[in-house]
Structure 1
């Protein structure tokens, strides 16, 4: 994991700042380190309660979930999934507290819906607490934890492309390219004991887990996956649309447009 290194570098520079500023920076670094150590995605978790809530965009929804919003293709032989987003600026949800940390994540992946044994995924977390906003680029072979990439900077408004490729059921790569800055990072997996099925392809906004429970979900505005493709060609036509439902309230409104675009908006 990269965050402990970041925390150490921040602490090493404390002497250059005023004491109050130094303490705030140290506390912030420690909080980020603690959150990232425990951060994990999850397979799709069905929502509790009524699944027949009408969609605000008028389209039929096959699934509601407590943690996933977006689109999922179900089939066979999914080896490469890609999609691009413009990184949003997260906001504190209406009625939320400025002292609470709110987060959401956008990612592409293989498996995790009908295949529950593993997920190969990569994406970006966006987090807000008060007026402080941060972004983390990560990769994950679930059920292992997510790990931060180093060597890439993410800011609101950047165009970022995610790609995951399964070279086998136990190996593959996760790639994030910041089209705005030209930075690109790659992580390779091999010999994974939790095997992929290669039967699900996803473009997801997630309320991910930290410390064993869902994080407080941020108002992410709108996330639009463009250039969504599978195996270099097949797009999102025929995908299952998923929205997040928590405590009988639908928090997102997702849809597809054409064959290569998935749009999710926070409705809170």
Structure 2
């Protein structure tokens, strides 16, 4: 019994050591950026790998990097977007090995307006037996920057919000509801937004100008998903454009909306 207890303690210790600390993850990403491997979200990249017959069977658009829901303004413009989701436990896709990532975020623009995007979200990465999470903010076309002073674990509840105070200024805020910790960043003097799009997205983001290997993120469900227009009215994703990720002729996600909920499932 004593030997079993000691062995269990050693296994637990080894497991704990396999998970990088927040400071180690931050240092690792800083090193990759210094080597030119900057992490960046991109505007929606249209996918043309599916046949017209297949695409016409659905009301979903296809992209190589975005999956989720996008509201496209006809007259009103969007000033704020928010959503809440549970931090998933990513896995390597079937047949995959090495590091795989995905990211969940909310943003303004990037679909019908691709010149600038105000966004914030959480990356989730699986590498062997290690899982890590990184919160970030970005005003595209600049790169993403990591928030410091906040951490996340699988099962935590996270709320992400972006607010445009003007077309060239705004804030990005992320809150770990489970721990009560919140961080934010203010922008000014940025490239002009159009404020045409409000979105709730799971993305295959870029690092070093290439899409990262896409993780099996399970399901990300944005709840309490809302956007505020320039007139002050609040709208939900109901009736939004839906987007699924398609890569190399294979659809990897399935998205749906209901009221103020956006559900993105990995299907690859």
How big is the shift at 1:60? 3.0
- Kindly provide the CA deviation profile for residues 124-161 of structure 1, in whole angstroms up to 9, marking residues without a partner as x: 00001100100000000001010011111111100000
Q: 1:51 to 1:61 in 2, by over 3 A?
A: farther
Q: Does 1:260 align with 2:260?
A: yes
Q: Does 1:244 align with 2:242?
A: no
Q: 1:240 to 1:53 in 2, by over 3 A?
A: farther
For residue 166 of structure 1, the aligned residue among 161, 164, 167 is 164
Q: What secondary structure, in the 3-state scheme, does the structure 1 residue paired with 2:142 have?
A: coil
- Kindly provide the CA deviation profile for residues 80-127 of structure 1, in whole angstroms up to 9, marking residues without a partner as x: 000000000000101111xx1100000000000001110000000000
User: Which residue matches 1:85?
Assistant: 85
User: Which residue matches 2:11?
Assistant: none
Q: 1:256 to 1:29 in 2, by over 3 A?
A: closer
User: Which residue matches 2:214?
Assistant: 217
Q: What secondary structure, in the 3-state scheme, does the structure 1 residue paired with 2:234 have?
A: coil
How big is the shift at 1:28? 7.3
Q: 1:51 to 1:84 in 2, by over 3 A?
A: farther
Q: What is the TM-score with the length of structure 1 in the denominator?
A: 0.84
Structure 1 runs not aligned, ≥5 long: 1-20
Structure 2 runs not aligned, ≥5 long: 1-16
User: Which residue matches 2:204?
Assistant: 207
Q: What secondary structure, in the 3-state scheme, does the structure 2 residue paired with 1:216 have?
A: coil
Q: What secondary structure, in the 3-state scheme, does the structure 2 residue paired with 1:205 have?
A: strand
Contact in 1 for aligned 2:60/2:244 (Cα 8 Å): no
Residues 175-194 of structure 1 aligned to structure 2 (within 5 Å): 175-192=173-190, 194=191
Residues 108-187 of structure 1 aligned to structure 2 (within 5 Å): 108-187=106-185
Q: Does 1:65 align with 2:53?
A: no
CA distance in 2, matches of 1:28, 1:185: 18
CA distance in 2, matches of 1:220, 1:247: 19
Q: 1:156 to 1:53 in 2, by over 3 A?
A: farther
